[in-house]
Every structure is written in C-alpha cells, then in structure tokens.
Amino acid sequence: MKTLQFREAIAEAMSEEMRRDETIYLMGEEVAEYNGAYKASKGMLDEFGDKRVIDTPISELGFAGVGVGSTMTGNRPIIEFMTFNFALVGIDQIINNAAKIRQMSGGQFPCPIVFRGPTASAGQLAATHSQAFESWYANCPGLKVVVPSNPADAKGLLKSAIRDDDPVIFMESEQMYGDKGEVPEGEYTIPLGVADIRREGSDVTIVSFGKIIKEADKAADELGKEGISCEIIDLRTVKPLDYDAVVNSVKKTNRLVIVEEAWPFGNVSTEITYHVQENAFDYLDAPIQRINTADTPAPYSPVLLEEWLPNHEDVIKAVNKVLYR
C-alpha cells in the first residue's frame, strides 16, 4: 500500500488508463496548463501533450458536446467540470445525447464517456455552488453515477468508469481532494455497483456515500463508546445501487439510518427507503430514518450552513430514535 491524496489518486487513475489506451483524452477548464483547478491532473499535460489533455473555454455545453460526439468516432473522453453546478449548462448533452445515443442508434453507438468533477457543498460557496445532483443523474436511464469517499475507492472506481462502455457521472468533492488514504500498489479496479461495508455492526445500519459519510463515521465512534454497534455501508455507486448489501445488512441489524447530502424530496435516500420497506419490511424493528439537508437553497452564512448540513449529531439522534433511546 502507498499513501496518496484524493487528487493524486484521481490523477493516477486517469494517467494509467491513458497509458493503456490512446483513445482516452481529458478535456475541461484549466485541466492542462494549470494542472487542474484542484490539481487533479497535475503533470498530465507534460506526459500526454496538448492533443490529449485539452484546455477549454468556459463553455460546458460546448465541450460536453464535443466529448459526446467524439465517442461516436472511437474515442473515450474524460470531461472535467470545475463543479457539477456548472454542468447544468451542459446537461442537455448529458441527458439528451450521452444517456440516449446507444438506444437511439439501435446499439450502433455506445457512449464511453466519463463526466467528472466535484459535487455538493464545499464551505461558504453559497446557493448556486453548493448543490448535490447525484439523484438527478441517477434518475436518468442510461447513466451510471459514482460517488467515492476515499482515495483508494476513487482510483479503483475511476479506472472502472473509464473502461465502461456507457456514460458515467463521477462525482468528487472539493473538500476531499486533500484527503490522504492508503491505496493499493499496482493495477486494480473496483467494479461499479458494489457497496463497501466499511464498518461491521449489529445494532443499526447506517448507509451513506461521498464526503458526508465522515459524519456517519464520527457518530459510530461516539455511539460505540456507549456500546452501540453501527454497521456502515458506503454505497460508492449510486447507480447501479447495491440494494442487496443494504437489505442484507438491515436483515441483520433490523434498523436503518440513511445519511445523504441532498435536498429531501425525491433523493437517493427515498429510493433506498422504498426498496427496504418493499423487500425487508418484516425485518424492521423501527421506521427508517433519513438525514438530509434542509429543504432550502444552501445558505452563505457559516452559522446557517452548519445548521443546513447533516452532521454527526444528527446521525446520533437518528440512531437513538430507531433504538427507542
């Protein structure tokens, strides 16, 4: 094992795949000369040149469309958005073209493309730069959605995403790029659609993904001091979602808490809640609890933002509620 920052794991995954396959290229704002807005493509311009690491104007709709079109001529692009908030400008290309080309061409044109960049909040960035769109993209047939929470998963999942013949939305976090973690030496991939049981437990299942799972970890540490055993499941992939991992865990613990940084209406946690009550209702000893952001745009005020976001204290309260404590 070796220790890498999250941004280094991203760069290593892209570089290894670009060495393996010359049809892969990286395109986005500041990915080349500036080494990436978050330094997640550091050194790649020097190694691969400006034909494969391409700076673009501020034109998300344009370079998203160039990427989608290039898949039809045999390329496998990685399109970086400086933030998925800006992907809203290019979402027509993602939803109406990338997600539908395979079906609308009768299978003649797969669309092997990765759209990657940070999602959700990252401190005081205010309402238009603090949005989580995982459930939006997961709602669209034809797209896969990946949200890693640590450097090892980021590398293994990104390599799988790049090799996938369907479009993949790969969502990171500005607040995780500096996170360090152990990453396996040598070649490895992590299959899409397989959750990780990052902590085994017997009293309650906590499901989460992305950077907000850190709050679940904090809560589990504190609850452990009180003798409460929490099982934590990191979904890693939102679509396809590993329903079996969640259901099997609930059958063991009989209680479920879901933590997701997203608005509460129609999100990933509501989908999981429906699936569990459909497939494990008789195993539940308490109603499912979900923890989301407030149903408002993200505030700029640090005091309000702290209140708006899910935190480990919210998780502890929810666990106590399902345990009737």
Beta strands 144-146 and 237-239, pairing class: antiparallel
φ, ψ for residue 19, nearest 5 deg: -70, -35
Reading the block at residue 282, the tokens are: 């008789």
Q: Is 76 helix (H, G, I), strand (E, B) or coil?
A: strand
The beta strand positions in the chain, using DSSP E, are 2-5, 24-28, 53-55, 76-80, 114-118, 144-146, 168-172, 180-183, 196-199, 204-208, 230-234, 237-239, 256-259, 289-291
Neighbours of 109 (CB within 10 A): 14
- Structural contact between residues 106 and 54, judged by C-beta atoms closer than 8 angstroms: no
* DSSP bridge pairs for 93: none
275 is annotated as an active-site residue: no
What is the Cα 292 distance to its own chain's centre?
Answer: 16
Rounded to 5, what percent of the chain is helix, strand, coil? 40, 20, 40
The C-alpha atoms of residue 276 and residue 125 are separated, in whole angstroms, by: 35
Of 8, 17, 80, 129, the catalytic one is 129
The C-alpha atoms of residue 287 and residue 108 are separated, in whole angstroms, by: 46
Q: Is 286 helix (H, G, I), strand (E, B) or coil?
A: coil
Amino acid at 201: G
- Structural contact between residues 267 and 260, judged by C-beta atoms closer than 8 angstroms: yes
**What is the per-residue DSSP string for 199-228?**
E--SSEEEEE-GGGHHHHHHHHHHHHHTT-
Of 60, 80, 260, 261, the catalytic one is 60
- Structural contact between residues 176 and 6, judged by C-beta atoms closer than 8 angstroms: yes
Residue positions annotated with a catalytic role: 60, 129
